[in-house]
Amino acid sequence: MKIQCIGAGPAGLVFSILAKMQDHSRDVVVYERNLSNVTTGWGLVLSEPMLQQLANIDPSIVEQLRPHISTLNHIDIHIKEKTFRSSGYQFLAISRLEMINTLRKKALDLGIKINYDSSLNAEDLINFPADLTVISDGANSKIRHQLKNEFDTDIDEGKNLYLWLGTSHLFNDTFNFIFEQTETGWFWAHCYKFENDHSTFVVECTHETWAKTGFAHMDEKQTIAFLEKVFHRHLCGHPLQINDTCREKAYWRRFVTPVSKHWSHDKKVLLGNAAHSAHFSIGSGTKLAIGDAIALAENLKSSNKLDSACFTDYQHNRQNESSNLHIAAQNSQSWFENVESLIENDPLEFSISLLLRSGRLSRDELTINLL
């Protein structure tokens, strides 16, 4: 059996590893549009249950990841020159590139072929036939878009704009939400340390604020300079950085949620963000993607043949298992899209509302204190 996977992110690599381990005679090939040392984004948020899933595949994967993981035990909310802290959490953060490199090494050790700098489209699949094609090239999947009628895909686009940045300022063991008001409106940042010398720094604002500020007419240096000024109290003299190995300029975007009626067509299957996505504000995108990869591999293992029933079961099971996560993500996204109607509330009540936004935590479970 020949299996090809489009996209060498966590989902594509985990699925490829499992598919090969199940049957070493399978010819598993991965195509990735970026170069081998390039990835979009900065850090990823993991969890202990997710690490256990990876350990069940191969304990050595987690052994290699552990030294590079940062543990985040608190959530700090910075609003109107006050800081509120909520404790009792255990988020795990790691460099996206570190995780991909670890999974890539395992894939290569198994004999999986990874072709980098290979941007395939739907027409290319005619020239690269396979018994199974797994499409895991992200929420903005080019192939899924080209086959949107076959997958019956609609795209829900978020209202806010965000910019995925990094910084050498370290936020230690805290996940931070920072809110700052400017003459053109409110900006906020989602920030956390993910390695010894870098933190993720995602900046978000409403479209109205983005337009009033004039980002459409700013170049990269102007954009960064403006945002460094907005968040200067929290950056402590450290610069903001763009992952310029992937982008030629500051790339503002809206969060994209693909909704496909069918996750499979003619032995082509959607995986991870190409199939469904969870808003970045709940930090569960990698959890969702790896869960998909494991489920698809298990369905492939238990099915006697590659047929529609195998793929339908995979879609049905993953949609059911992830339904609560999707509800939480939608609640969180909606909350941030309505920040400016909430932010004039008392800072403590605003912070409590932020912590409860997804519906996964009750007021009785919450601890919060003014620092």
Q: What is the mean pLDDT of the chain?
A: 94
What pLDDT band is residue 140 in, cutting at 50, 70 and 90? very high
| Distance from C-alpha of 204 to C-alpha of 164, rounded to nearest angstrom | 9
Q: Is pLDDT above 80 for 161?
A: yes
Per CATH, domain 2-370 is 3.50.50.60: yes
What's the pLDDT tens digit per position in 205-221? Answer: 999 999 999 999 999 99
Q: What is the pLDDT of residue 309?
A: 85
How big is the CA angle at 64 (ends 61 and 69), to the nearest 5 degrees? 110
Domain boundaries, the chain: 2-370
Among 224, 221, 175, 179, which residue's Cα sits nearest to residue 200? 175
Q: Quick one: pLDDT band at residue 39, thresholds 50, 70, 90?
A: confident
Q: Specify which residues 5 forms β-bridges with.
A: 30, 134
Residues in the chain: 371
Digit-coded pLDDT (tens) for 296-348: 999 988 775 677 788 999 999 999 999 999 999 999 999 999 999 999 999 99
pLDDT in tens, 51-105: 999 999 999 999 999 999 999 999 999 999 999 999 999 999 999 999 999 999 9
The phi and psi torsions of 309 (rounded to 5 degrees) equal -65, -40
